[in-house]
Amino acid sequence: MLTLGPTSLTIVSVIAAIAVAALLYAVVLRRQVLAAGEGTAKMQDIARAVQEGASAYLARQFKTLGAFALVVFLLLFLLPGDMGIKVGRSIFFLVGAGFSAAIGFLGMWLATRANLRVAAAASLPGGRAEGARIAFRTGGVVGMCVVGLGLLGAASVVLIYRGEAPSVLEGFGFGAALLAMFMRVGGGIFTKAADVGADLVGKVEQNIPEDDPRNAATIADNVGDNVGDCAGMAADLFESYAVTLVAALILGKAAFGEQGLVLPLIVTAIGALVAVLGVVITKVRGSESGLAAINRGFYTAALVGVLLAAVAAYVYLPSTFAELTGGTAGLETHGGDPRLVATLSVAIGVVLAGVILWVTGYFTGTTSKPTKHVARTSLTGAATVVLSGIGVGFESAVYTAGIIAAAICGVFLLAGGSVALSLFLIALAGCGLLTTVGVIVAMDTFGPVSDNAQGIAEMSGDVTEEGAQILTDLDAVGNTTKAVTKGIAIATAVLAATALFGSYADAVSTALRDVGEAAVDSDIVAAMLSYSIISPITLVGVILGGATVFLFSGLLIDAVTRAAGAIVFEVRRQFRDHPGIMTGEVRPEYGKVVDICTRDSLRELATPGLLAAFAPIAVGFGLGIGPLAGFLAGAIGAGVLMAVFLANSGGAWDNAKKIVEDGHYGGKNSEAHAAVVIGDTVGDPFKDTAGPAINPLIKVMNLVALLIAPAIVAISVGDDANHALRLAIAVAATAIAFGAVIASRLRAARVDQEGRLEQETQLVR
């Protein structure tokens, strides 16, 4: 068993203290945000309605997910292994899930209070700088909590379990990823159902502005921004942070021994320090764009992070691989300098973040050629807007995937062809990318806060004309920051999943060593244990992995379609039954729309979650560890392309709408405007529901595979081989996964029937 020396234990203790300091700095930033003015009484009433709706939704969601987490907690005890490790893994599963939920709730809670303050600040002298400062520091609070809790959880496990920490951290990462996926799915369905319904009835049918208070879906739309973009994205980035650390520690232990277990923690602790720097220096100067200030903070923090990581590597690591202690990857004869190799890996991760930020901004920004092209196609109707946006998404996916692949190839070359070392360095590059996660979260939260601020301003009518323009500009910046952070989150997910893929191979190798020279009782079982890609059964796994990503995406987009349809019928009903709404004499029933979104999003939550959890179990126990490896590879490959395509096409449609609304091609209420609104509604579930949810999906499936790999080996080989039980588990998992899908299809048919009846009733009236 690997032991940690006093120096390493001291370093980990200091890292835990840095994590606590990051949380304390979050408290300081929170006080600064809440100290800002709250605006008029009407603004406060609107903000209060958003706060109540968001809190009610998350409370119901957490109640649902709490029971699910308890079931998984108990199931983890069924996995093979030492009882002490199983207890720790199960407990830290709950800790990871709890941290993920807490960060999501905090992101929502503060954002629903900051939006009011940004709206109030816009009409004051220096409103542009002050509004941007409040919005960015709101994200800074969430970012510091992501860094602090992620680092605290990982450091605590290492301090308690020492050399056995990676096995326990599997539970911590799994809990964080599972909760994040559910929050992404539920929040994404909620926010886009409200957004699509509000746009289709309000903008297209009634020709009223986006956040007009006469639209019954406006409050639900603003609630959705917070439960989807704030709570969901915060939880998503936290699980990326946690899962990347888990993979880095597992692979680091195998490659570098003691130093490999501690180095990733050092790199991410440096990320906590540079996050503070990024938040402090991000200030709008004079009349400059908020995006320029945000980019300056990001790139400065990234550069400082690389320099500090280099210093740490040269201080902590030895000058030769032969001096590393406790590694099992056989790197003693490697001729490189581990200090230089580690530094360059971290640098590759940071550079990757910067390049992805630029590429995503190019394909989705309001001033870029691709988005301008999508806006220009509005002159020929909605169909060409949709087609051009799809084309932008497909093209951007190729470039983004190529950039990520180039980064992985660069790391492989650094490793000198050693697979074990290259997998650890990929995880280390992911840690390098995550040195900027505090600033990335701040950038992402900036978007929904500024969007909500503009909504509150428009609904209240209490903002000056200059203030309204400031909020419009901040909202456009927020659209871009949301898009680029989605790109960075996707890159992080791919690096984490690739590293977890390596962790899976390590878990399988360990399990096979444990069963020793046990005989394989048939050629079929031998094929199930083979990783050869040329094997037909492994190729089947690849196909199934890619297919799962497509099925998952389709389920989510279809769920948004059904929920949005219910919103459309409800908003139409209110306009029809209460003519006074259009004249301002009757207040819309906002609460009914919020209730519909809450009900439908929670009802649709289970199907994609069960698919993600049980598909790897069905493949692993049914086809074997080789096909399961193929399944993971297929999911990673299809996942990165699908996620980028969905995110960037949706981002391009959204900002094309902004271009037209700014007065181009006929401006608001023109035929071109109607066309880009249709494009934006198509893109909404792409970029804010299905696309972002793929990130936690591929990590959840990798973590499930990592956890069940020893059980698959134990039940397939040796004296304890039990093929009847193995197949029974596979059949049960398949029944659960596809049973959930079939139930979803039946529910969709029932909802469609109800929709037709409702439409016929409206036509009769």
Reported as a single tens digit per residue, the pLDDT across 346-381 is 899 888 888 887 888 888 877 888 999 999 999 998
Please state, in angstroms and rounded to a whole number, the distance separating the CA atoms of residues 96 and 654. 34
Do 524 and 674 meet the contact criterion of CB atoms below 8 Å apart? no
Q: What is the pLDDT of residue 516?
A: 61
Chain mean position to CA 535:
33
Q: What is the pLDDT of residue 373?
A: 92
Task: Annotate 72-92 with b (16+ C-beta within 10 A) or e (fewer).
Answer: bbeebeebeeeeebbebbbbb
Please state, in angstroms and rounded to a whole number, the distance separating the CA atoms of residues 545 and 530. 17
Tell me 163's DSSP state: G
Residue 751 pLDDT class (50, 70, 90 cuts): low
Reported as a single tens digit per residue, the pLDDT across 487-507 is 777 777 788 788 777 777 777
Please state, in angstroms and rounded to a whole number, the distance separating the CA atoms of residues 612 and 713. 21
Segment 325-347 shows an average pLDDT of 76
Please state, in angstroms and rounded to a whole number, the distance separating the CA atoms of residues 562 and 747. 10
Place of tokens 């987009």: 557
> Could you give the angle at which helices 338-364 and 625-661 cross, rounded to 10 degrees?
40
The Cβ of residue 398 has, within 10 Å, a number of other Cβ atoms equal to 12
Please state, in angstroms and rounded to a whole number, the distance separating the CA atoms of residues 665 and 662. 9
Q: What is the pLDDT of residue 286?
A: 66
Tell me 205's DSSP state: I
Q: And the tokens for 36?
A: 């800002």
The residues, any chain, with a CB within 8 Å of residue 441's CB and separated by 6 or more, are 139, 142, 143, 146, 233, 234, 237, 485
Helical residues (DSSP H) of 282-381, grouped into ranges: 290-316, 338-364, 369-376
Residue 3 pLDDT class (50, 70, 90 cuts): low
Segment 8-25 shows an average pLDDT of 90
Q: And the tokens for 422?
A: 């290259």
DSSP conformation letters of 392-410: HHHHHHHHHHHHHHHHHHH
Segment 282-309 shows an average pLDDT of 80
Reported as a single tens digit per residue, the pLDDT across 142-163 is 888 888 898 898 888 888 887 7
Residue type, 304: V
Which helix (H) or strand (E) segment holds residue 190: the answer is helix 165-198
Please state, in angstroms and rounded to a whole number, the distance separating the CA atoms of residues 214 and 216. 6
Please state, in angstroms and rounded to a whole number, the distance separating the CA atoms of residues 276 and 337. 31
Residue type, 129: A
Rounded to 5 degrees, φ, ψ at 325 are -110, 125
Q: How far is CA 154 from CA 165, 388, 735, in A?
A: 9, 44, 35
Q: 325 by DSSP, 3-state: which?
A: strand
Exposed/middle/buried for residue 285 (C-beta within 10 Å: 0-12, 13-18, 19+): exposed
The residues, any chain, with a CB within 8 Å of residue 662's CB and separated by 6 or more, are none
Segment 525-554 shows an average pLDDT of 82
- Of 258-272, 414-428, 509-523, 614-628, give the lowest mean pLDDT range: 509-523
The Cβ of residue 760 has, within 10 Å, a number of other Cβ atoms equal to 10
Looking at the predicted structure, is the pLDDT value of residue 546 above 90? Answer: yes
Q: 369 by DSSP, 3-state: which?
A: helix
Q: Give 325's strand partners.
A: 257
Q: What is the pLDDT of residue 592?
A: 81
Residue type, 322: A
Residue 254 pLDDT class (50, 70, 90 cuts): confident
Please state, in angstroms and rounded to a whole number, the distance separating the CA atoms of residues 434 and 349. 8
Category of 717 on φ-ψ map: left (φ > 0), alpha (ψ -120 to 50) or beta: beta
